[in-house]
Amino acid sequence: MFKESPIIRRVSRQIMVGNVPVGGDAPITVQSMTNTLTTDVAATVAQIKALEAVGADIVRVSVPTMDAAEAFREIKQQVDVPLVTDIHFDYRIALKVAEYGADCLRINPGNIGNENRIRSVVECARDNNIPIRIGVNGGSLEKDIQEKYTEPTPEALLESAMRHVDILDRLNFNEFKVSVKASDVFLAVESYKLLAKQIDNPLHLGITEAGGLRSGSVKSSVGLGLLLAQGIGDTLRISLAADPVEEIKVGFDILKSLKLRSRGINLIACPSCSRQEFDVVSTVNALEQRIEDIMTPMDVSIIGCIVNGPGEAMVSDLGLTGSSKKSGYYLDGIRQKERFDNTDLVDQLEQRIRAKARSMSERLDEKNRIDIKTKD
């Protein structure tokens, strides 16, 4: 089995979003976006903290009005995670949130206004050491590009992106990342592949408007998986019509499956069949909910019978292999004398997983140490 990812990442320059590096040799970051009214400061802060609690590296906040910009000022003072402000059309909003501590400006320079207004925003970003994200979307291409191509195509998205890139290049500003999102998987993938050949700036990945929790997760996994497997992508957002917390979970699951990030428990579980000696499905579902707060990287295998169980357990940090009445327990690939009663597996597994996570976290350096909650 692969212990490390065989993926060779595209070489990109690095920018800083607050204290989080994006691009270069930095880990691929996972972000989400609040869906509360930004003017509702309490609700927005609560959602940002919920996202941070499940591992969000970066959070984006829409700032459509000056009232929202004033609210952002309060929000920024109450959270720790870097915040990207999403701004369209009104350049004055960009200037205001930069003053209030935005960690990144998500704009399209071409829709901010005339050259003087664009220059004002770029100079403000430069003066405050704030990067910019150019965000191209297949559903909102410029009118002349729509007329030229008649429909969204990879070449159309690339032309739109490079139009905005050229503006920043003329202003000698290179602290930016770019996205070329589309709701169609093939359109998004081909657009990113074209863009990756044109610039060395970090790329922000996403399948926009992907759908609900299940369908959107599948579509995003396929599209982003195709790109990430080719080494393309420095930060990502899973766009779901669901609780934004789920976007972070799915994002990390995608990266874990490709061995590009290791954060939290990687559960290896069989789909179950008539050979199972305990109810695998209910055990895994209950356990997954209980241990989602653990961020220590760990492989845990839960297999219902002895056919594949021992093999998986021997390459896991902690493993369970189903057997009659009592199941076998493996730690660091070694079978233990201790056996688990099949009638009380969830409690026993959670206890051992938390103990193992504590011991593993003690070996991490202070910068990466993770506190593990202890159940009463």
Question: Any binding-site annotation on 305?
Answer: yes
What range defines the domain where residue 291 resides? 265-368
**pLDDT tens by residue, 196-214:** 999 999 999 999 988 899 9
331: confidence class by pLDDT, cuts 50, 70, 90: very high
Query: Is residue 28 domain-resident?
Result: yes
Query: Is residue 214 domain-resident?
Result: yes
Domain with residue 160: its CATH number is 3.20.20.20
Does the structure show a pLDDT above 90 at 285? yes
DSSP 8-class letter at 101: T
User: In this prediction, what percent of the chain has a pLDDT beyond 90?
Assistant: 80
Does the structure show a pLDDT above 80 at 180? yes
Same domain, 251 and 182: yes
Query: Is residue 166 domain-resident?
Result: yes
Same domain, 283 and 254: no
Query: Is residue 4 domain-resident?
Result: no
- Contact (Cβ atoms closer than 8 angstroms) between residue 278 and residue 259: no
373: confidence class by pLDDT, cuts 50, 70, 90: very low
Domain with residue 351: its CATH number is 3.30.413.10
CA nearest to 352, candidates 339, 370, 343: 339
Q: Specify the number of domains making up the chain.
A: 2
Q: So what's the pLDDT on residue 1?
A: 55
Q: So what's the pLDDT on residue 369?
A: 42
Taking every pair of Cα atoms in the chain, the longest distance, rounded to a whole number of angstroms, is 75
**pLDDT tens by residue, 77-132:** 999 999 999 998 899 999 999 999 999 999 887 778 788 898 999 999 999 999 99
Query: Is residue 7 domain-resident?
Result: no
Same domain, 99 and 205: yes
Q: So what's the pLDDT on residue 366?
A: 44
Q: So what's the pLDDT on residue 375?
A: 43
Same domain, 150 and 217: yes
Same domain, 62 and 193: yes
Same domain, 144 and 282: no
Query: Is residue 348 domain-resident?
Result: yes
Arithmetic mean of pLDDT over the chain: 92
Same domain, 251 and 269: no
What is the distance, to the nearest Å, from the Cα of residue 243 to the centroid of all Cα atoms in its chain? Answer: 14
**pLDDT tens by residue, 25-71:** 999 999 999 999 999 999 999 999 999 999 999 999 999 999 999 99
2: confidence class by pLDDT, cuts 50, 70, 90: low
Last residue of a domain, one of 211, 230, 258: 258
Average pLDDT rounded to a whole number, residues 126-148? 93
Last residue of a domain, one of 228, 258, 288: 258
Same domain, 183 and 269: no
Same domain, 28 and 114: yes
Please indicate whether residue 63 or residue 4 has the higher confidence score (pLDDT).
63
Average pLDDT rounded to a whole number, residues 125-142? 93
Same domain, 63 and 162: yes
Last residue of a domain, one of 258, 284, 314: 258
Gap between the Cα atoms of 66 and 55, Å rounded: 30
Average pLDDT rounded to a whole number, residues 178-198? 97
- Contact (Cβ atoms closer than 8 angstroms) between residue 224 and residue 207: yes
Query: Is residue 206 domain-resident?
Result: yes
Question: Any binding-site annotation on 270?
Answer: yes
Average pLDDT rounded to a whole number, residues 170-199? 97
Average pLDDT rounded to a whole number, residues 9-17? 97
Same domain, 20 and 127: yes
